[in-house]
Structure 1
């Protein structure tokens, strides 16, 4: 192995280790926020759970940045503001057509809501008292509405939505598919995961193809 190859290898190794550390920190943050809420969670708690120094956690930004990144990783599988339908798990179903595409998409959203509902509750609660968190949450909701609007367009191209679907359809669908719905039906009302998915599929069908 040449000197350049060794340097490239070490650089790739360090990058991989840094990415693994960040994911571990965000996982610890997500668990803490969901369990104890935003206000009661400290950077010291997160560092201890992740097995890193507090300085390492601080290097990832203020607590609200950790909250957002933790939610993105938990819900979508990766950080960033890239549209949801361009994330890896959704790109993997893009080849599907008809009902198979809709069913696969609902399954992905249901699983994402199950992973992130407790964290979402902490996010919304923190936004009630923290102006910076409220701003971050509003931006996240804007992204969600845009994602749903794009999803409606893709469903229309597959013939899975009424031709007259509009912004109201997207708005209703955004609520139906939200973590809030999972929270109310599963965490509060006690439905099983299977019951939740069944209700979700029926609700989505009603929104997309309402009766006369």
Structure 2
């Protein structure tokens, strides 16, 4: 007699996926607004309309929930398409325009995810590794853009590595957060300022 195969209903799988998504969305909102350290699994369960047992069964511990949020953020970053759009530009001015607009759009769209991760870093047991995983693709994308800038005429006035570091300083999540969150700038103003500052600095001649 052959062993019985377990049958998993597609509808049940879809319902489980929706529950997991709901839990992660509500947890993201709570972590972003209150901070990771002040949110409990019970809080997440209440916001998602499920039991704490369901949170553990669907996602795991609070640390697992944060890990899931990071994974979703990385998957939804769209960095490959953004890099293609920037590399299609053939003048430094066009690159700066598309880069500022694209990183603004990504940071604005995924603002709550970035805030949830940022506020978890001081209290999470693996905060540094978490941040590196959350931003690795982002930083690699800016390195690729720096290389592209150095193929154009004129090239930036600094080295390729310095260009990559500067792009991360201006257009990485910390740069946007410093202006929009810490200084309460509108996104439009921040975008124009970062674009203008980057262009003026990278192409300053002695």
Tell me the TM-score range normalised by the shorter chain. 0.7 to 0.9
TM-score, length of structure 1 as denominator length = 0.71
Can you list the C-alpha shifts for 1:80-106, whole angstroms capped at 9, x where unaligned?
xxxx532xx527736843355543332
For the pair 1:195 / 2:194, whether they are aligned, the reply is: no
Paired positions, count: 197
Query: Which residue among 131, 134, 137 is the counterpart of 1:140?
Result: 134
Unaligned runs of 5+ in 1: 1-6
CA RMSD of aligned residues (A): 3.5
TM-score, length of structure 2 as denominator length = 0.73
8 A Cα contact 2:32 2:116, kept in partner: yes
Q: d(CA) in 1 for partners of 2:152 and 2:132?
A: 31
Unaligned runs of 5+ in 2: 1-6
For the pair 1:70 / 2:64, whether they are aligned, the reply is: no
- How far apart are residue 201 of structure 1 and its match? 1.1
- How far apart are residue 195 of structure 1 and its match? 0.7
- How far apart are residue 31 of structure 1 and its match? 0.7
What aligned pairs does 1:135-174 form with structure 2 within 5 A after superposition? 135-157=129-151, 161-162=155-156, 165-174=159-168
Can you list the C-alpha shifts for 1:148-168, whole angstroms capped at 9, x where unaligned?
212323444565853864222
Q: Which residue of 2 aligns with 1:4?
A: none
Q: 1:46–1:155: structure 2 CA closer, same or farther, 3 Å change rule?
A: farther
Q: Which residue of 1 aligns with 2:60?
A: 61
Query: Which residue among 3, 26, 35 is the counterpart of 1:28?
Result: 26
Max Rg structure? 2
Can you list the C-alpha shifts for 1:123-159, whole angstroms capped at 9, x where unaligned?
3443323332333223434444323212323444565
8 A Cα contact 1:32 1:46, kept in partner: yes
